[in-house]
Structure formats: C-alpha cells, structure tokens
Chains A and B, each alone.
Chain A
Amino acid sequence: MPIGGFVVNAQPEFVAEVAKQVAAIADVEVHGFDADGNIVAVIDTVSSIEMEAHVKEIEAIAAVLTVGAAYLHAEDEIDKIISGELIIDKPFHQRQRH
C-alpha cells in the first residue's frame, strides 16, 4: 500500500523521454513534467520493497540526475508490522506470519 510522491530531476533536454520511461515502469504514475527537467511521479506499490526497487530503477535511467522524495504514506504496511502479520527482518522478502 505505500504511496510515495517524488520529484525526478532529469537533464532538461531529455525530460520528455525520461518522463516516458518513468511512466512505463509498473506502479508509477507521471503527473507532469516541465522544461526545467522536473517530473512529478507517484509510486503506489504493495510493499515499500517494491517502491524502493522502482526508485532505483528510475535512478538508473541515464538522464536522471536525482530522485527527491516529497511524501510517503505507508499506513497499511505499518499496521501489518505492528500486528505481526508482516515481519520486516528479512531483506529479500517480507515474511508473512501465518
């Protein structure tokens, strides 16, 4: 459920192309871009592991200079951690307690 709002900074001359590549990533919505190279994106994933992976994917795009986080909401995930349903001690998956 984590939902994050980001500003992706691309080299201005490539911003349209970068916005297209970012929008093609699963779980990512691009809400706009401008001539300064700013791209506003929202990432909505099942877990924050996927979210971080998408951020890395965006950072790896050649003309991307930085990815700045502005907002993160992770209420459902936190509820699961507190209830014990989700265990966050494993790096490569988040165990579900059955």
Chain B
Amino acid sequence: MSVTRRDFIKRSAALTAASYVGMNLPFAQHNVAHAVDADRWVRGTCRLCGSGCRLELGVKDGRPVALRGVPDSRTNYGYLCMKGMLFYKMMQHPERLHKPLYRAKKDQPFKEIGWDQALDIAAAEFAEAVKKYGKDSTAYYGSGQCQTEETYLFQKVFRGGLQTNNVEGNPRLCMASAVGGYMTSFGADEPIGGYANIERSYCIFIIGSNMAEAHPVIFRRVMRRKLDNPAKVKIINADPRISPTSRIADMHMQFRPGTDMALMNAMAYVIIEEKLFDQKFMDDYCVFRVGKDAKQVDMAAYKESLSAYTPEKAVRLCGGNITAEDIRTAARWFATSQGTLSIWCMGINQRKQGVWANNLIHNLHMLTGQLCKPGADSLSMTGQPNACGGVREGGGLCHILPGHRPVVSEKLRNQVEDAWGIPRGRIPPKPGYHTMAMFQAVNEKKIRAIWINCSSPAQSLPNVTPYRKGLQSDDVFVVCTDIFPTKTTECANLILPTAFHFEKTGTYGCTERRSQITVKAIDAPGEAMPEVWIVREWALRLARQLNDPIIAKCVEPFMGKEPDYELPQAVWDEYTQKLTKGCDNDLRGATYDVLKSMADGVQWPAPTVEYALTGGTVMKFVRGSDPMAETEAKDDKPYQFYGAAHADKKLWIWLRPYVGADEEPDAEYPLYLSTGRIIDHWHTSSMTGRVPELLRANPYSFVEINPQDAARMGVRPGDMVEIESRRGKVEMPAKVVEGPIEGMVFAYWHDMHEDRMINKVCNDAYDPDSKEPEFKICACRVRRISGPRALKPYITTLNG
C-alpha cells in the first residue's frame, strides 16, 4: 500500500512528537524516499522569548514550509510553543515593510524611496544634529530582539564614531534590575548556572514569574521535574496573582504587591533563627554589606536587621493568604533541599527597588549555600531572546561597553578603542542617557536625532503618553528599522525595512549564557536588508557628512563582505575574538563554525574551540566547570567568585529593608494595578497580532478582577471597565477570576488600541540604581462603564 504525502507528513509529525517522550508508535517512515517534507532544514533559535528554544525551519523551493524542534538542544529538547511555531506567518505577511519610506514632516504621508536616498537622508540628519546641537543630541535605542552582531555594530558606530554613549535598549525596561542584582550580589552579571539545574533541583522557588505563559517551554521542564518526583520535589510559587504557573505549586504564597521583599527577609529570618544557614559557605565565600557605600558588617548586624521581619510581622505586612507557618515551611524547604533553584522574571525586576528585590533572592541562596552545586542556582529568566547576548554583553546599554566593561573606566575604554583601532579618547567617559532619561531628553529637545531599532517605545514605555508626544514632534528626526508598522513607526520620519529571523544570519544569547546561531534560510521580501548592512552603509555616509574618517574606520573591517553571512560573521569574529578576550563572557571558542556544528550553542566563558565544542561553562565560578575559575583562582577553594565588580572576590549578602512601591493605593486610587503578558502575544503584538490564530485567541486586552472586588464594584464578567491612574485611563473588558489578590487588578499589555493601551496608566518611576521602571505596581481606580461591548482588535498600519 502506498503512503500518500499527507500520510507521510502526519506520520512525521506523530513520530517527532513521540520521540520526545520515548514512545514507540506502531508505524515508521521507511520506503518513502520519494516523499520528503522539505528540501532542507535550517537550524536556528526561536525569535521570541528568552528561553532560547532551538528549532529547524523546513525549506522547499526557497520558501518556508515546516518547523520542528531540535530534540538534542539542551534548552528545549525539541519542544516549541504555538507562538514560536507560527512565526513563519510573519515572514509571508502582506504588511511586511518592503521598501524604505520617508517623510520630511510627521503629518505627511510616507513616500517610498530607494536605499541610497534613504541612507543619505539618515546620514545627513544625524550629521546636522551633531553640527547644530552636539554629539549627544543623537541617540540609539535598540532591542533585546536584535542579533548580537547588530547591537554590537550599532554601538560601535555610535560610541567610537559619533562619540556618544547615548546607546540604550529595551532591556533597560525588563532586565536592568537583574543586571544590578547579579553585579551587586555576585560581582558579575548573568546566572551562575542554567537550565540543567532544573532536572537536579529538589526545591524550585518561582517568584514574580508566570513562566507557564511567559516561558512555556522551560516551564514544561519544571513541570516535568515535579510530575516525575511528586513527593521529593517541592515547588513554591510566590505571586500576588494565581496564574497558570501556580497549578504545579505545592505552596502558592499570595501577598500584597511589593511585599515580597518583606517575605524574603522573613524567610531569611527563619533560616537564621532555626540555624538552617551554611556557615562554612558563608565563611568561605560571603561578606555582609549595607548602604550606598557598601559598608561591611557582621552577621550579628544582619541578624539584627531582620528583627523587623519575624514571620508573624511579615504576615501582617504581606496580607494575602500567607501564614507564619507557610513562611517557616518555605524557608525550611529552601534551606534543606539537596538543591534549590529560584526562578524569577518581571515581577521582581520591574520595580522601584528591583535591584534590592533581586539581592534578597540571592541572599537566600548565599545564606544556605544553595549555589554552585547541582540543582542549586538563582536563575533570572530573561524576557527577550537576546537581552543577554546582544545588549548586556555586546555593549547595548549606556553605561556598559562590550564585554561587560563599565564605560567609566578609562583603562577599559582604552582597551575597546585599541581593539577597534581608533584613537584613545573617542569613547566619552560618562554613561549616556538611560532609557527613561533618553525619551525625556527627546521631550526636552535635547535629542534631535534618534535611531530606534526593532522596538516600539511609543507603546512599551510606562506612562507612554508624554513620551509618544515627544517622538511625534518634528523637532526630533526619528529613524525606525523594523519589519512591520508599529505605534513607533507612526512617529518616524524614515522607516527602513529589515530582514526578519531566518532571513539573515546572526546570534542570540539566551537566559543561561548560551549563544546560539540562526543561519539565513530564505530571502527577505522586497528590498528589506539585514541591519548589519544598513549600519555599515549609513556609517560610510555619515563619515563623509561629518568629514570624520574615524566613523568610517568603525566599519572598515567589514567592507566588501556580502550581507547574508560574511558580514555578520566578520562582526561576530571581531566582537568575540577581540572584545570578549579575557572577559568573563569570553566567547573566543564560539566561532560560527562551532556554533553551526552544535544542536544548541555555547555557554560562556568558552575561551577555546575545544572547550566550546563541549557546550562551554555549565556552572560559572566552579572549578572543573569554569575555565576562568582556574585562571582567576586566588586560593584552592572549589568556587572562585572572580566577578570584576567585587574587589574582594566575595559574594555580598545585602542588608536590604522592605520598601513599598513608588505609588501605593490611597483613598483616591484604591487598587493596585499590575500588568503582564499572555501566552499568545509577544510584547506589543506588532508580530503576534498579525498572526490571525494568535490574535483570534486573544483579540484584545482584558483586565483580571478578583471576584470580591468585582462584587463590590458591581462588575460582572465581560463588563467594560475604566482603569484610571494619575497618568491616564483606558477601558477594557473585565475578566472576573480568582487570579489577582483582592485589592489588585491585572491587565495584559499587548493591545495597541488607544483605548486599551495599558502603558498609558503605568508608572514611569524607576529604580535609582538600575533605572528600570516600575511597570508592575501602581495605584489605580476601576469603575464599571457598561455591559459587554463588541470590540474590534486593532493592529496599526503605516499611517496609524
């Protein structure tokens, strides 16, 4: 009996899925050599969240026809989520930007122009801004979704060429507090371990993260660990909201927003009181510090600082469902398990005291020695696919040069200038504007030309209305590089169409320090080009406009390289071989050839090809796992905390008090508002909103309201409600659900409709250290407007 092609593909689908769980099916694929599902399979990383899932795009006759996971990948083991599966629809979408578009004034319609003219205009406008208003009147705002090569090259041209440190990226909005937490607790950015600890952990503490929706494929690993060891593995979920993640928890701790800092101090109190701490680990590796000047204190002072956080006191502060016994139980599980893993995301980071909240998680690990051993780690989940690799590591934040080098260090600036072959002194000595300051500077007409790459701040900034107004002004020239129209391209003078994922070659570095390559598989539509080509060509014109040959020097090593592979490879080689050499994120072993040969990628540090081919460093700071733990060793202890930010090479346990949110509820605005993502949509939905299946699943935002609050307000399921803060108001349909704690509402933030854009309401106060805004907590009031109303989903077009 012949097997039809359809049957063949169905069997392929079944066999692929079955292979992931070791299930034998009563059929196989053989004797069907003539029936193929694709001509070739091209390997890459998913375009969306920070999990780093590996997949293969099936290509037939030059077009994408299929997708499958990579089962040998140590991130996703072959699994994908539906968002990741459906991204091929973005490639073929009719609204893809095909040609450069320009308008002199923002109230004019866009006109199609050619690339030469577009790049000339971009160069002329930036040059004029420099001549009239100075170098710091220019700025670059990038993204944790740009490939590392793109971020690296943009920041090289801006810093070394234009001589401004006004280089920022949207990871400021999501990961900056995690950076600050790692730097101040461990002396170096990014996690010590990675996903491999999930399957070895016996206590998993998930706080401020709905990973079931935000990182579903990694959540699957946590879920599997629990299901396979129901009695031995404990899951603690700490969140003011009951979310899909809570379903697998042995204990869900629900508390008033922001009081998790008191909760964690209370857990520390129990650990100290019941002598559950690891004295040897603390003696060998830790010191206690307090205050702005990081004064060293002793354990007695730390213990004294926790006296305000007995479980009984903490329970009164936290409210919710927590009891003193819950806190004691959680602390005991945490401290005594064979390996405890903490996982968190925006609930901890997007806070006025986000760095402190991160410190408090790290404190628990340091107190109990739950670090550096199998199953033990404090693992900040990254929101975006390349916030780590591109922005944190590649020099995409205003205060950090490539290789985690603080810009304020003359010695380190000189290292970068020497590596680039440009005169010392080109890179300015002070950090540029951080994100909120950058867009405030646009408002104040201090920034006159801004390049926004692969991001939509006109929707994603908190308290977005005044910042969008600034971008709409004709006093600032706005260039956007993107694949679709967004709320931000509505504010642009010049829109440059870019190649999408798999339409260009480049790398992403995910949550667990793992850099992975995506190779170009198909051509970009129309005249869309890769960003690395765009930056190179623009820089050459800029150099002529400003009569500054050093700008051209910044791209000189990349001249004559074809844009699909040679050009990004040359950029990657310069970055890894020259800029990461000797740094903690040493990636010299992770050449393109090495990355392509691997199912997944390479965890840094990986200073040699030989080491990179093993997969790199699974556990930082651990001798035998981390080559730098040998080269940087200061004694014979098994762990070497060589992070550059701590001169004493110790871990720092911080005395951090509970501090409430910047804006707490009051009589006028009596409810907490928090916001977050939903599984079907990615960020501003400029991509997922254009995939009919995903938009249909969640065509617009809604707000979750606790049933008790809903009853008090007279709100029924589906009713339209107004959510108002001191900054603005929006309307959404209500979902009455036992999700958010009583006194809090939770809204999804992906909707770009003006009436439902929740960032109009959010607070733009930010952490004084990390400068990350407090998206997660502000005060609001909610009132019922009407019964259910038919709503239309909205995705912006070119002219808004």
Contacts and interface: CB of A to CB of B under 8 A. Distances in A.
A and B, one complex?
yes
Contacts of A4: 13, 85
A66 B216 contact: yes
B60 interface: yes
Interface in A40-93: 40-42, 44, 48-49, 51-53, 55-56, 65-75, 78-79, 81-82, 87-93
A67 to B, nearest CB: 8
Interface stretch (B139-147, B584-592, B686-694): B686-694
Interface stretch (B220-228, B322-330, B443-451, B714-722): B220-228
Contact of B220 (A9, A32, A71): A9
A67 B219 CA distance: 11
B120 to A, nearest CB: 33
B23 interface: yes
Contacts of A79: 63
Interface stretch (B356-364, B373-381, B695-703, B731-739): B695-703
A49 B14 contact: no
A34 B23 contact: yes
Contact of A75 (B60, B69, B248, B793): B60
Interface stretch (B86-94, B532-540, B561-569, B668-676): B86-94
Contacts of A17: none
Given A72-B68, A75-B60, A89-B95, A66 B219 contact: yes
A88 B13 CA distance: 24
A72 B14 contact: no
A34 B695 CA distance: 33
B146 to A, nearest CB: 25
A5 B224 contact: no
B297 interface: no
A71 B23 contact: no
B92 A42 contact: no
A70 B217 CA distance: 11
B28 interface: no
Contacts of B227: 9, 11-12, 36-37, 65
A29 B699 CA distance: 28
B9 A70 contact: no
B430 interface: no
The residue among B25, B63, B66 with the most chain A CB atoms within 10 A of its own CB is B66
Nearest to B78: A70
B546 interface: no
Given A6-B17, A37-B227, A40-B21, A89 B92 contact: no
Contacts of B14: 5, 29, 31, 40, 42
Contacts of B84: 69
A76 B589 CA distance: 42
Contact of A74 (B20, B65, B696): B65
B294 interface: no
B25 A91 contact: no
A90 B68 CA distance: 26
A14 to B, nearest CB: 12
A36 B414 CA distance: 57
Interface string B14-43: 111110110101000000000001000000
Contacts of A11: 227
B502 interface: no
A43 to B, nearest CB: 8
A3 interface: yes
B79 interface: yes
A7 interface: yes
Interface residues of B, number: 59
B316 interface: no
Contacts of B37: 73
Interface residues of A, number: 50
Contacts of B243: none
B796 to A, nearest CB: 13
B18 A31 contact: yes
Interface in B53-110: 58, 60, 63-69, 78-82, 84-86, 88-89, 92-95
B217 A73 contact: no
A1 to B, nearest CB: 8
A66 B68 contact: no
B69 A71 contact: yes
Contact of A71 (B12, B21, B248): B12
A73 B693 contact: no
A52 B66 contact: no
A42 B82 contact: no
Given A5-B13, A7-B20, A32-B18, A71 B693 contact: no
The residue among B17, B64, B67, B78 with the most chain A CB atoms within 10 A of its own CB is B17
Contacts of B82: 52, 55, 67, 69
A12 B230 CA distance: 11
Given A5-B17, A40-B18, A70-B69, A32 B25 contact: yes
A19 to B, nearest CB: 12
Contact of A82 (B85, B92, B793): B92
B247 interface: yes
A5 B16 contact: yes
Contact of B793 (A32, A48, A91): A91
A71 B67 contact: yes
B16 A70 contact: yes
B162 interface: no
Contact of A52 (B10, B18, B23, B696): B696
Contacts of B68: 70-72
Contacts of A91: 692, 695-696, 699, 793
A92 B216 CA distance: 25
B212 interface: yes
Given A34-B21, A34-B23, A69 B69 contact: yes
A65 B228 CA distance: 14
B697 A66 contact: no
Contacts of B224: 9
A48 B228 CA distance: 33
B696 A92 contact: yes
Given A4-B13, A66-B220, A89 B86 contact: no
Interface of A: 1, 3-7, 9, 11-12, 29, 31-32, 34, 36-38, 40-42, 44, 48-49, 51-53, 55-56, 65-75, 78-79, 81-82, 87-94
26 contacts: A3-B6, A5-B13, A5-B15, A7-B20, A7-B21, A9-B220, A29-B14, A31-B17, A32-B18, A34-B23, A38-B21, A56-B697, A65-B227, A66-B212, A69-B69, A69-B84, A70-B78, A72-B13, A72-B66, A72-B68, A73-B9, A78-B65, A88-B692, A89-B95, A91-B695, A91-B793
Given A31-B23, A52-B82, A69-B80, 15 more contacts: A11-B227, A31-B18, A31-B25, A36-B228, A49-B693, A52-B697, A66-B219, A69-B69, A71-B17, A78-B92, A82-B92, A88-B93, A88-B691, A90-B692, A91-B696
Interface of B: 6, 9-10, 12-18, 20-21, 23, 25, 37, 58, 60, 63-69, 78-82, 84-86, 88-89, 92-95, 212, 216-217, 219-220, 223-224, 227-228, 247-248, 690-697, 699, 793
